[in-house]
Chains A and B, each alone.
Chain A
Amino acid sequence: MSLFKKSAIPVIGLALVASIAVAGSHGAGPHDAAIKARQSQMKLYAFNLGMLGAMAKGEMEYNAETAAGAAENLAKLSTMSMAAAWPQGSDNSAVDGTRALPAIWEKYPDIVEKSKAMSEAAATLADVAGTDLDALRGAIGDVGKACGGCHKPYRAEES
């Protein structure tokens, strides 16, 4: 009996540590799906901006059709209804795996205004991206500014 007692404690302890480690490594938080969804939206932004930016930088030859398509995607992405991907309590002080600051949920009207600025900038880009390279170059800057509009106050620095 005494043998069991001695060995049981570390075994139970190990099991506890293991379960915490599993929870930690899988990040099994209540908002994982929502965080993944909104980060996927950001990745789609980045993918489409990548083509437009490569043309603007002169790294990729300008193609009116590709540019118009990518800019159209941005405009669509920016008008998607994504509120459900930003549930209360999915900020970086409550859960892992996100740099979203709690201020997002405290200043909601500002978020609405800034996302409107984003869709407007994206719509303008979509209007002109297929015209020519200069038009694309002229309009993509405002999209970057609109991205920064939210990234500046509402996203934590990388830690």
Chain B
Amino acid sequence: MSPLFRWIIALGLAGFAAFWLLTWPDRLPDDALAGLTGDVARGERVFLAGGCASCHAARDAKDEARLVLAGGQRFPSAFGTFLAPNISPDPTHGIGTWSAMDLANAMLRGVSPEGAHYYPAFPYTSYTHVTAQDVTDLHAYLATLPATNTPSQPHEISFPFTIRRGLGLWKHLYATDDWVLTGDLTPEQTRGRYLVEGPGHCGECHTARDLFGGLQRDAWLTGAPTPDGKGKIPGISPAQLDWSESDIAYYLETGFTPDFDAAGGHMASVILNTAQLPASDRAAIAAYLKALPAPGD
């Protein structure tokens, strides 16, 4: 074997080892949920704030049917089409066998119980802010929902995006625990930040993405094209949205804009969730949006 060839093999192995280490699924510490017990009623509030049903129930589901989390909704993107999986309590086709820790690793770290990376169509980049108590409560609530044995369908994506391990690199670039809005916040604004940047995952649609699908945090909530490229998702930072706080809260309650147009598209699903939140949470979201930097700040 020539020395050059040996070098190439050595470099290749070193490169593979580096890739393997860099893309290692980063799980939570084993004691992340230690001492916590789940509360079903509080879990429902997390479920509504997190908008789980908007993606995991059937798209046109209403009322009770929104609690059947059979999956199947399609999410087109520049990388292919992602299909929401079954997250009902079915032990085979859903997540009925998951522990609270499994749910926490999925939501906060984007890692499956088997140790695979999830695609960020599942918004763990936002859910990473969700508190350990809220995950535990959500786990308790999800277990009370109807089980359905609809099999999850595979995503429709092509190479190289089929290599989940590569998402480990993506996470190094884009997954962070840091808040976007920092500085002195009132308790209400802090609650709003938690809801918007965390479970509500508003930024996942209202913030534009870069070439690799990472959120452009320096253009936070300033609007984005729809994933199919046919329309646009409006900006909701003060530079784009001049609604008052009560206008925003009322929109999240009823779907009515200040002009009394009614919300459509995916936002209509979001309103079905926010309408059921306590009024204080809708007010907190409004307070947070108003606290975002305005032009000239």
Contact = CB atoms under 8 A, between A and B. Distances in A.
Interface in A23-58: 42, 45-47, 49-50, 53, 56-58
Interface stretch (B12-20, B182-190, B206-214, B261-269): B261-269
Nearest to A159: B231
Contacts of B253: 141, 144
B272 A153 contact: no
Contacts of A6: none
A157 interface: yes
Interface string B239-281: 0000000110010011110011111111011011001000000
A56 B272 CA distance: 19
B271 A144 contact: yes
B31 interface: no
B232 A157 contact: yes
B255 A50 contact: no
Interface residues of B, number: 29
Given A141-B253, A145-B275, A148-B271, A159 B265 contact: no
Contact of A145 (B60, B230, B260, B272): B272
B230 A148 contact: no
Contact of B275 (A59, A141, A149): A141
B242 to A, nearest CB: 16
B231 A50 contact: no
Nearest to B59: A153
Contacts of B246: 57-59
Interface string A137-159: 00011011101110111011111
B260 A151 contact: no
A69 to B, nearest CB: 16
Contacts of B256: 49, 53, 144, 147
A159 B272 contact: no
Interface in A46-99: 46-47, 49-50, 53, 56-59
Contacts of A49: 256, 260
Given A56-B250, A149-B62, 4 more contacts: A56-B254, A141-B253, A145-B255, A156-B231
Q: Which 4 pairs across A and B sit closest by C-beta, in order of nearness?
A: A157-B231, A151-B264, A147-B262, A152-B268
